[in-house]
Structure 1
């Protein structure tokens, strides 16, 4: 049976998506200072199956189209944990990181050749405290937590993109790091935390894959997070290990949840309610994605 996990044509939905998306992407209004600061985003990013999910591709693209086209993108992904904070290679056309396994060979040949991001790298490095200099890699490209959703949002690949590592699991430290990055929003930089609102990979069942069953540990965690986000209750969100229902099944590792603290910090005021833009489930995982007030 054809599905996003076993498509008849790998990335066929992406092939169908592009002809309609590219003209709209070319016509998108480019950010100017008159637009004011951009919001910060938290994206549930998917993996190669996103390229086989037409509705999800269009949701992400529509979200990007609802905003001015950023001058550049700074993204923190669940898939690169390194301390102290490090930056990906800023050179144009740096090869991607294909950090996934077991998929059709086509997904390992996909390209996202973004322009030089050295100006953004210098800006971000200058924002870090002197006692915590940021390491700038010469060869590490974007991992799939960055390039997969961005290929849907900005398919022209004409925006400089830089990835910042996830340096800690401490919500307070990540909020502070996000707050340090907040001024970038006033310069037309889109700051993104990329994870997945629930990500219980070890607990995926055939029913979740083939019948669309959403387990209670996923739906209950999602409802808890949605309520806290809507109230701007960052203290509740930070206490997820003991307060959130569905733990630890919803997040046996926390790397896909905690990028939201970068987003909340970068939004300017972490206690402000956010706007959910995408919700629903993929193989039982919550796709909840949101933006902070601009």
Structure 2
């Protein structure tokens, strides 16, 4: 991105479970996110891929500050007044276009598309000063193999001080939660355990075929958009095989869903 990139510390790649807007009111989670970011090298920019933006071909969001996308309904009014006025990231957008188009991947620009809650909700807790440039890109597909390849193409950005973040949720089936009592449902706990063991074993093939290989895979993710950002992260992290592999930074459950969040590198 610039001449200083040669001496920039290589950034890790993250997958985080981003939570709903009430995350800000949770007694534990905001502190976990804040401690995580405090332990990271300070990024020059953040590249976010969120479960809540699917668009093909791959789209780049606004490179200048735009209003947030309040893509949720039925919450108290104060959640719609949250602001996150991070600087735009035109240089990062140029670098993403160059990497993807150079590899034959079509890219489009959506210049009025602000950050959605999968991006800004965790960033408010991690970088509350909103002083780091942020660029959000879309999920161009839900195919894990293709997303892994997208992450591989974006991986060089890590050497330029860019924090690549896949934002989803390690288990995500809101409909099933509505039909049961409190506590952690078995399907959520089973999938969380299986996914953790697969990541520890670096079993990328099993993760790519999680709908068939994981216990309760299709119940934990009846639609795969909240697990899909993990594959962008894995690709950016050398398929999760570099260094010590995945490290679980945040564990446990929130309203029955696994909030496992991971750092690679």
Distance in 2 (CA, whole Å) between partners of 1:96 and 1:33 is 33
In the alignment, what sits opposite 1:119?
91
Deviation (angstroms), 1:246 = 1.5
In the alignment, what sits opposite 2:260?
288
In the alignment, what sits opposite 2:191?
221
In the alignment, what sits opposite 1:57?
30
Q: Check whether the contact 1:33–1:188 (CA below 8 A) recurs between aligned residues.
A: no
Pairing of 1:114-153 with structure 2 (within 5 A): 114-129=86-101, 131-153=104-126
In the alignment, what sits opposite 2:9?
36
Consecutive unaligned residues of structure 1, counting only runs of 5 or more, are 1-30
Distance in 2 (CA, whole Å) between partners of 1:176 and 1:270 is 13
In the alignment, what sits opposite 1:262?
232
Q: Check whether the contact 2:5–2:159 (CA below 8 A) recurs between aligned residues.
A: no
Deviations 1:213-256 (A, max 9, x none): 00000000000000001111111101111111113221111000
The count of aligned residue pairs is 259
Q: Check whether the contact 1:278–1:289 (CA below 8 A) recurs between aligned residues.
A: yes
In the alignment, what sits opposite 1:102?
74
Deviation (angstroms), 1:47 = 1.1
Deviation (angstroms), 1:269 = 3.9
Q: Check whether the contact 2:204–2:239 (CA below 8 A) recurs between aligned residues.
A: no
Consecutive unaligned residues of structure 2, counting only runs of 5 or more, are none
Structure showing greater relative contact order (alpha-carbon pairs closer than 8 Å, 6 or more residues apart): 2
Deviation (angstroms), 1:70 = 0.4
Distance in 2 (CA, whole Å) between partners of 1:85 and 1:41 is 20
Distance in 1 (CA, whole Å) between partners of 2:233 and 2:195 is 14
Q: Check whether the contact 1:78–1:259 (CA below 8 A) recurs between aligned residues.
A: yes
Q: Check whether the contact 2:48–2:119 (CA below 8 A) recurs between aligned residues.
A: yes
In the alignment, what sits opposite 1:89?
62
Q: Check whether the contact 1:85–1:166 (CA below 8 A) recurs between aligned residues.
A: yes
Match of 1:139, SS state, is coil
Name which of 44, 59, 63 aligns with 1:71. 44
Deviation (angstroms), 1:61 = 0.7
Is structure 2 residue 139 aligned with structure 1 residue 166?
A: yes
Q: Check whether the contact 2:62–2:114 (CA below 8 A) recurs between aligned residues.
A: yes
Distance in 1 (CA, whole Å) between partners of 2:159 and 2:32 is 25
TM, length-normalised to structure 1: 0.85
Deviation (angstroms), 1:206 = 7.3
Is structure 2 residue 197 aligned with structure 1 residue 187?
A: no
Deviation (angstroms), 1:132 = 3.2
Match of 1:129, SS state, is helix
Which ranges of 4 or more aligned residues in structure 1 deviate by more than 4 Å? 31-35
Q: Check whether the contact 1:75–1:192 (CA below 8 A) recurs between aligned residues.
A: yes
TM, length-normalised to structure 2: 0.94
Deviation (angstroms), 1:50 = 0.4
Distance in 2 (CA, whole Å) between partners of 1:34 and 1:60 is 27
Q: Check whether the contact 1:88–1:162 (CA below 8 A) recurs between aligned residues.
A: yes
